Structure 1
Amino acid sequence: MAIGLSHGGTTIYSSPSRSNEVLVGTREGIAIIAREGSAWRVAHQALTDRHISAIIMESESGLTIAGAFHGSVHVSADGGRTWEPRGNGLTQTNVYSLASARVDGHARLYAGTEPAHLFVSDDLGLHWTEVPSLRSVPSVPKWSFPAPPHIGHVKHINFDPRNPTTIYASIEVGGLLKSTDAGQSWQEFPELYEDVHRLMIHPSNSRCLYAVTGRGLYVSPEGGTTWEQWTGREDEIGGYPDGFVFCPSDPKLIFMTAAQDAPGTWRTTHFAGARISRSRDGGRSWEILHNGLPDRLQASIEAFCLEESGNSSSIFAATTSGEVFCSEDLGKHWEKIISGLAPISKAGHYRNLIAA
């Protein structure tokens, strides 16, 4: 068994047994790290000329799909050892996010890009077609991004767990979009802060939405009708959250990563001040985790995932400095299991975290 650890791919896994390999998306391709007893090692590296943005596992076919910044989509049939390009029809190849859902018994893949376009494939990436309606919403002319070239992107894609034709697309920076008809039309949420990093959905109550934004965590108990801000820029857990995972068997147990401040400050401070926090009450209150984690990491945590298998759980966090931390006891203790990888980074975030 293997799982992926990437910025714009799958973040929550329910597996029949604990995975002994993790495919890490880095600035220099995919590093496959393998568990050997109580230690980990780099077992293989692939796609080393690509900056990997997203990794997903398609369970029925057994394929692994990877997206790359300025590098299209690639597919592996052997657990990540060898890869073939599958970008036919992708008119935008700067891929930021990937997601898959089972629709009418088959796998449907989605790819989000910069500029912010959405593409869909019903044949495991052999052919892609654009979902043009994404760019028909009124806010499109305002979509942008603070850093050059100031172009917005589809940072995250998610689906209603009860209805995979209900899709959420997080536009950075542009807002949250929702489609209830497989992408034929889209609804906006103008009352929500527009810098949406990811939209997470309560696994047993799909009307309960968690929007992770550049200004903190927003929660809607009624499917987006109203939103409440539960964390903010001044909170000790960090004012710029990104990674967010539920424990599948206990959705009140949530883990979230956050930098101390927005990436614009990193250009001068070269310091992210990243932390991992845990909530036991569905996000109402948070505790900062230590015990093996340095307090306020200089690096940013840019990939974060949780795997639950039976009675065991593993949480992985990867940083712009090429380190991977792991907790096997739901955040009580952490261990640095790998260092020396190429940066794990959304686009160029890592550049501002190299000391001058």
Structure 2
Amino acid sequence: MNLLLGARTGVFRGDPEAAEDPVRVLDSDRVLRVRTFGPRVYAATRGGLYRSLDSGRSWTHIETPRPEVYSVLEAPVGERLYIGTHPAHIYVSEDAGETWDGCESLQDLPSREEWYTPRHRNESHVRALRSAGGERVVAGIEVGGVHLSEDGGETWTERRQGVHDDIHHVLVRSVDEWVASTGNGLYRTRDSGRSWTRLDDGGDRRYFREAFAYDGRLYAAAAAGPPATWDGPKGTDAALYESCDGGDTLEPVEYAGSPGGFVLSWAAADGEVYAGTTDGLLLHREADGWFGVGSVPAEIGSLAAVE
């Protein structure tokens, strides 16, 4: 098993058990998401969408309606391809990206005029796309909240009440249970977004980028503030948390590179859990803690396991 590391300078590929550091297999603009669906791997980047059919060894650029692709989803796998872009639009293809149709009803949601922030050119983007089973698609907007389609993107319902609207990632644990990582807290819903509960304590570290679940355990990490603050005297001032009760309690754990390195991404490979940090360090969860096993010369914003 190998790992694909999505970074600011492209995608890197490597064996986490090997001594050598990963090698770059895609030279691109900043990679926002690397995701696998069956034999296909996608890299969503600020310079477009890329697909690999050989576990990330080689890549093909796919033409998309907008160049800045922040998220990608196949659902059902092998049948329908979605992308989320900047500005915040969702497009769907039923012919593997040859042609695209816009999910125009997303633009008609009551809160649409509120989806903007000065730090993103007074616009927003679809940072998360996840399947919640069948025709159900969950979208997370930075900045704009969480929204649900139950018909494959034809129509959308707002599920943003009670969750901070700066959505970085949505982890779908089951049809109804989702965990949202936001710029101000970690939130969970158990009723498909109709109501939300904040899981973190709202303390000094409240900027969450991504949560991950594996083998009954929930993983999350938080920094003291957004990226604009990371060059300060304390750096990211980050913490890593684990939970064995679905997030009801978050226990801080030690890890290599803390507190300066903030965990941005997660993946499981061969029954082992890995994480990537702002410092470009690849971490491995061992019995007695988190240890570095490799690095790349840029932050690891996304991770995916491939054969």
1:29 aligns with 2:29: no
Deviation at 1:126, TM superposition (A): 3.0
Of residues 60, 78, 81, the one that matches 1:84 is 60
- Alignment partners' CA distance in 2, 1:207 and 1:148: 30
Of residues 177, 194, 202, the one that matches 2:147 is 177
Instruction: Give the letter aligned to residue 206 of structure 2.
Output: G
Structure 1 runs, 4 residues or longer, greater than 4 Å off: 267-270
Gapped regions of structure 1 (runs ≥ 5): 1-18, 347-356
Aligned twin of 1:39: 18
For the structure 1 residues 174 and 47, does the alpha-carbon distance in structure 2 shift closer, same or farther, using more than 3 Å as the test?
same
1:317 aligns with 2:275: yes
Does the aligned pair in 2 maintain the 1:27–1:52 contact within 8 Å? yes
Deviation at 1:268, TM superposition (A): 4.3
For the structure 1 residues 180 and 335, does the alpha-carbon distance in structure 2 shift closer, same or farther, using more than 3 Å as the test?
same
Aligned twin of 2:68: 94
1:299 aligns with 2:261: yes
Residue aligned with 1:141, SS: helix
Gapped regions of structure 2 (runs ≥ 5): 303-307
1:262 aligns with 2:226: yes
- Alignment partners' CA distance in 2, 1:142 and 1:336: 41
Aligned twin of 1:222: 191
Does the aligned pair in 1 maintain the 2:70–2:85 contact within 8 Å? yes
Aligned residues: 301
Aligned twin of 2:84: 112
- Alignment partners' CA distance in 2, 1:43 and 1:231: 33
For the structure 1 residues 173 and 232, does the alpha-carbon distance in structure 2 shift closer, same or farther, using more than 3 Å as the test?
farther
Deviation at 1:334, TM superposition (A): 1.7
Give TM-score scaled by structure 1 length.
0.78
Of residues 17, 22, 41, the one that matches 1:64 is 41
Does the aligned pair in 2 maintain the 1:33–1:43 contact within 8 Å? yes
Residue aligned with 2:258, SS: coil
- Alignment partners' CA distance in 2, 1:343 and 1:213: 19
- Alignment partners' CA distance in 2, 1:328 and 1:24: 20
Instruction: Give the letter aligned to residue 165 of structure 1.
Output: E
Pairing of 1:1-356 with structure 2 (within 5 A): 19=1, 21-35=2-16, 38-42=17-21, 44-59=23-38, 62-69=39-46, 71-87=47-63, 90-102=64-76, 106-160=78-132, 163-192=133-162, 193-203=164-174, 206-234=175-203, 238-247=205-214, 249-250=215-216, 253-266=217-230, 268-269=232-233, 271-290=235-254, 292-296=255-259, 298-307=260-269, 309=270, 313-329=271-287, 332-345=288-301
Does the aligned pair in 1 maintain the 2:33–2:301 contact within 8 Å? no
Does the aligned pair in 2 maintain the 1:215–1:232 contact within 8 Å? no
Residue aligned with 2:106, SS: helix
Structure 1 vs Structure 2: percent identity of aligned residues? 27
Deviation at 1:345, TM superposition (A): 4.3
- Alignment partners' CA distance in 2, 1:76 and 1:225: 37
Question: In the TM superposition, what whole-angstrom CA distance separates every residue of 1:175-209 from its partner, at most 9, and x where no partner exists?
Answer: 11111111111111342221122222333xx2223
Deviation at 1:231, TM superposition (A): 1.4
Deviation at 1:30, TM superposition (A): 1.1
- Alignment partners' CA distance in 2, 1:95 and 1:82: 19
Question: In the TM superposition, what whole-angstrom CA distance separates every residue of 1:64-111 from its partner, at most 9, and x where no partner exists?
Answer: 221211x11111222222221111xx22110111122226xx432211
Structure 1 window deviating more from structure 2 (273-282 vs 333-342): it is 333-342
- Alignment partners' CA distance in 2, 1:153 and 1:27: 18
- Alignment partners' CA distance in 1, 2:261 and 2:55: 29
